[in-house]
Structure 1
Amino acid sequence: MAQTPVPVPPSDASSTTPAAAPSGALSVEGIFGPGAVRTQSVRASRWGKDGESYLALEDAPKGGQDIVRYAIADGQRQVVVAAADLIPQGASAPLGIDSYEWSPDQRWLLIQTNGKRFRRTNALSDYWLYDTTAKRLHKIGGDAAPSTLLYATVSPDSRSIAYVRGNNIYVEPIEGGAATALTRDGDDYVVNGLADWVYEEEFSVHRAFEWSPDSRRIAFLRFDTKGVGTFDMVKNTGGQYAQVIPLQYPKAGTTNSAVTTGVIDVADGATRWFKLTGDPRRNYVPQISWAGGSDALFIQQSNRLQNRFNVLLGDPATGAVKPIMVEKDAAWVEANVAPEWLNGGRSFTWLSERDGWRHLYTIDRASGRATLRTPGKFDVVELLNVDEKTGYAWFIASPDNPTQRYLYRTTLSGAPKVERLTPANQPGTHSYDIAPGEHWALHTVSRFDAPPVTDMLDMTRQQPLRTLAANAPLAQVIRKTGLPATEFFRVDIGGGTQLDGWLIKPPGFDPTKRYPILYFVYGEPWGQTVADRWAGAQGLWHRMLAQKGYLVASLDPRGTATPRGHDWRKSIYRQVGILASADYAAGVRKMLSTRPYIDPARIGIWGWSGGGAMTQNALFRYPDLYKTGIAVAGPTDMKLYDTIYQERYMGLPQDNAEGYRNGSPINFADRLKGNLLLIHGTLDDNVHYQNQDQLVDRLIHFNKSFTMMAYPDRSHGIYEGENTSIHLYSLMTRYLETNLPPGGR
Structure 2
Amino acid sequence: MSVTPSNSFRIFLFFIVTAFVPIVLFAQEGIKWNKTGNGYYQFEEGELGLYTLPKQTKTVILSKKQLTPEGKTAPLSVQSFSFTADEKKVLLFANTKKVWRLRTRGDYFVFDTNTGALTKLGKNRPASSLMFAKFSPDGSKVAYVSEYNLYVEDLASGNIQQLTMDGNRKFINGTFDWVYEEEFFCRDGFRWSPDSKHIAYWQIDARKTKDYLMIDNTDSIYPFAVPVEYPIAGEPPSPFKIGVVDIASAKTQWMDIPTDPVLQSYVPRMEWAANNNELIIQHLNRYQNQSDLMLCNTQTGASQVIYTEKDSAWIDIQPLWDEDYSYGGWDWLSGGKEFIWASEKDGWRHLYRVTRDGKKEVKITNGDYDVMNISAIDEKNGYVYFLASPTNATQKYLYRTRLNGKGPAERVSPANQEGTHEYDLSPTATYAQHIFSNIYTPFTIEMISLPDHKGLNGGHEVNDAVAKADKNSGVEFFKVKTEEGIEMDGWMVKPKNFDPNKKYPVVFYVYTEPWGQNVKDQFGAASAWLYRGDMAADGYVYISIDNRGTPVPKGRTWRKVIYRNIGKINIRDQAMAAKEVCKWPFIDTSRTAVWGWSGGGSATLNLMFQFPEIYKTGISIAAVGSIFTYDNIYQERYMGLPQENAADYVQGSPVTHAKNLKGNLLYIHGTGDDNVHYQNAELLINELVKNNKQFQLMSYPNRTHSISEGAGTRVHLSTLYTTYLRAHCEPGGR
Same fold by TM-score greater than 0.5: yes
Query: Does 1:711 pair with 2:700?
Result: yes
Match of 1:547 among 531, 537, 555: 537
Specify the alignment match of 2:420 in structure 1. Answer: 429
**Aligned residues of 2:440 and 2:472 also touching (Cα < 8 A):** no
1:55-83 C-alpha deviation (Å, 9 max, x unpaired): 21122xxxxx2001222322322211011
CA distance in 2, matches of 1:142, 1:176: 13
Query: Relative to 1, partners in 2 of residues 1:620 and 1:684: Cα closer, same or farther, differing over 3 Å?
Result: same
Query: Relative to 1, partners in 2 of residues 1:239 and 1:414: Cα closer, same or farther, differing over 3 Å?
Result: closer
Specify the alignment match of 1:57 in structure 2. Answer: 43
CA distance in 2, matches of 1:620, 1:229: 32
Per the TM alignment, residue 44 of structure 1 is displaced from its structure 2 partner at its CA by: 2.4
Amino acid at match of 1:227: K
Amino acid at match of 1:263: V
Query: Relative to 1, partners in 2 of residues 1:395 and 1:729: Cα closer, same or farther, differing over 3 Å?
Result: same
Q: Which runs of 5+ in 1 are unaligned?
A: 1-30, 60-64
Specify the alignment match of 1:558 in structure 2. Answer: 548
Aligned positions of 1:586-601 closer than 5 A: 586-593=576-583, 595-601=584-590
Query: Relative to 1, partners in 2 of residues 1:681 and 1:538: Cα closer, same or farther, differing over 3 Å?
Result: farther
Deviates more, 1:453-462 or 1:305-314: 453-462
Query: Does 1:464 pair with 2:455?
Result: yes
Specify the alignment match of 2:432 in structure 1. Answer: 441
1:498-525 C-alpha deviation (Å, 9 max, x unpaired): 0111110011111111100001100001
Specify the alignment match of 1:119 in structure 2. Answer: 100
Aligned positions of 1:129-208 closer than 5 A: 129-208=110-189
Q: Which runs of 5+ in 2 are unaligned?
A: 1-16, 319-324
1:341-361 C-alpha deviation (Å, 9 max, x unpaired): 111211100010010000011
Query: Does 1:275 pair with 2:265?
Result: no
CA distance in 1, matches of 2:128, 2:244: 27
Query: Does 1:380 pair with 2:361?
Result: no
Per the TM alignment, residue 435 of structure 1 is displaced from its structure 2 partner at its CA by: 1.1
Amino acid at match of 1:66: E
Specify the alignment match of 2:5 in structure 1. Answer: none
Query: Relative to 1, partners in 2 of residues 1:474 and 1:696: Cα closer, same or farther, differing over 3 Å?
Result: farther
Query: Does 1:335 pair with 2:317?
Result: yes
Match of 1:291 among 273, 277, 294: 273
Query: Does 1:360 pair with 2:343?
Result: no
**Aligned residues of 1:408 and 1:421 also touching (Cα < 8 A):** yes
CA distance in 2, matches of 1:189, 1:221: 13
Query: Relative to 1, partners in 2 of residues 1:488 and 1:294: Cα closer, same or farther, differing over 3 Å?
Result: same
Aligned positions of 1:224-303 closer than 5 A: 224-279=205-260, 282-303=264-285
Match of 1:417 among 408, 430, 448: 408
Match of 2:619 among 624, 630, 642: 630
1:639-696 C-alpha deviation (Å, 9 max, x unpaired): 1100000000000001111100000001111100111111111111111111112111
Query: Does 1:651 pair with 2:640?
Result: yes
CA distance in 1, matches of 2:628, 2:593: 27
CA distance in 1, matches of 2:229, 2:359: 38
1:366-406 C-alpha deviation (Å, 9 max, x unpaired): 24322111110110000111121111100000000000000
Match of 2:394 among 370, 382, 403: 403
CA distance in 2, matches of 1:528, 1:353: 19
Per the TM alignment, residue 176 of structure 1 is displaced from its structure 2 partner at its CA by: 4.1
Query: Relative to 1, partners in 2 of residues 1:538 and 1:421: Cα closer, same or farther, differing over 3 Å?
Result: same
Per the TM alignment, residue 89 of structure 1 is displaced from its structure 2 partner at its CA by: 1.9
**Aligned residues of 2:28 and 2:79 also touching (Cα < 8 A):** no
CA distance in 1, matches of 2:378, 2:291: 27
1:271-310 C-alpha deviation (Å, 9 max, x unpaired): 1111111236610001101112223111000110000011
Query: Does 1:46 pair with 2:36?
Result: no
**Aligned residues of 1:54 and 1:70 also touching (Cα < 8 A):** yes
Match of 1:570 among 560, 563, 579: 560
Query: Relative to 1, partners in 2 of residues 1:469 and 1:153: Cα closer, same or farther, differing over 3 Å?
Result: farther
CA distance in 2, matches of 1:577, 1:613: 8
SS of residue paired to 1:645: helix
Specify the alignment match of 2:383 in structure 1. Answer: 392
CA distance in 2, matches of 1:348, 1:662: 42
SS of residue paired to 1:736: helix
Query: Relative to 1, partners in 2 of residues 1:698 and 1:206: Cα closer, same or farther, differing over 3 Å?
Result: same
Per the TM alignment, residue 98 of structure 1 is displaced from its structure 2 partner at its CA by: 1.7
1:65-115 C-alpha deviation (Å, 9 max, x unpaired): 200122232232221101111222222222221211112221211111111
SS of residue paired to 1:380: coil
Specify the alignment match of 1:729 in structure 2. Answer: 718
Per the TM alignment, residue 270 of structure 1 is displaced from its structure 2 partner at its CA by: 1.6
Amino acid at match of 1:197: W
1:527-547 C-alpha deviation (Å, 9 max, x unpaired): 101111123695455692112
Query: Does 1:509 pair with 2:498?
Result: yes
CA distance in 1, matches of 2:441, 2:554: 24
CA distance in 2, matches of 1:38, 1:119: 16
Deviates more, 1:95-104 or 1:615-624: 95-104
Per the TM alignment, residue 417 of structure 1 is displaced from its structure 2 partner at its CA by: 3.4
Query: Does 1:584 pair with 2:570?
Result: no
Specify the alignment match of 1:739 in structure 2. Answer: 728
Amino acid at match of 1:498: E
**Aligned residues of 1:485 and 1:504 also touching (Cα < 8 A):** yes
Per the TM alignment, residue 495 of structure 1 is displaced from its structure 2 partner at its CA by: 4.0
Query: Does 1:314 pair with 2:302?
Result: no
Deviates more, 1:237-246 or 1:643-652: 237-246
Per the TM alignment, residue 447 of structure 1 is displaced from its structure 2 partner at its CA by: 1.1
CA distance in 2, matches of 1:274, 1:92: 48
Deviates more, 1:405-414 or 1:667-676: 405-414
1:442-477 C-alpha deviation (Å, 9 max, x unpaired): 11111122211111112232122267988999999x
**Divergent runs of 4+, >3 A:** 37-43, 466-476, 482-485, 536-543
CA distance in 2, matches of 1:93, 1:229: 44
Per the TM alignment, residue 166 of structure 1 is displaced from its structure 2 partner at its CA by: 1.7
CA distance in 2, matches of 1:646, 1:139: 42
CA distance in 2, matches of 1:381, 1:547: 36
When normalised by structure 1's length, the TM-score is 0.91
Higher relative contact order (CA 8 A, sep 6+): 1
**Aligned residues of 2:29 and 2:79 also touching (Cα < 8 A):** no
Per the TM alignment, residue 188 of structure 1 is displaced from its structure 2 partner at its CA by: 3.1
Query: Relative to 1, partners in 2 of residues 1:84 and 1:196: Cα closer, same or farther, differing over 3 Å?
Result: same
**Aligned residues of 1:442 and 1:457 also touching (Cα < 8 A):** yes
Query: Relative to 1, partners in 2 of residues 1:475 and 1:203: Cα closer, same or farther, differing over 3 Å?
Result: farther
CA distance in 2, matches of 1:713, 1:150: 26
Specify the alignment match of 2:11 in structure 1. Answer: none
CA distance in 2, matches of 1:603, 1:39: 30
The alignment of Structure 1 onto Structure 2 pairs a total of residues equal to 702
**Aligned residues of 1:483 and 1:547 also touching (Cα < 8 A):** no
Match of 1:454 among 439, 445, 448: 445
Query: Relative to 1, partners in 2 of residues 1:38 and 1:221: Cα closer, same or farther, differing over 3 Å?
Result: closer
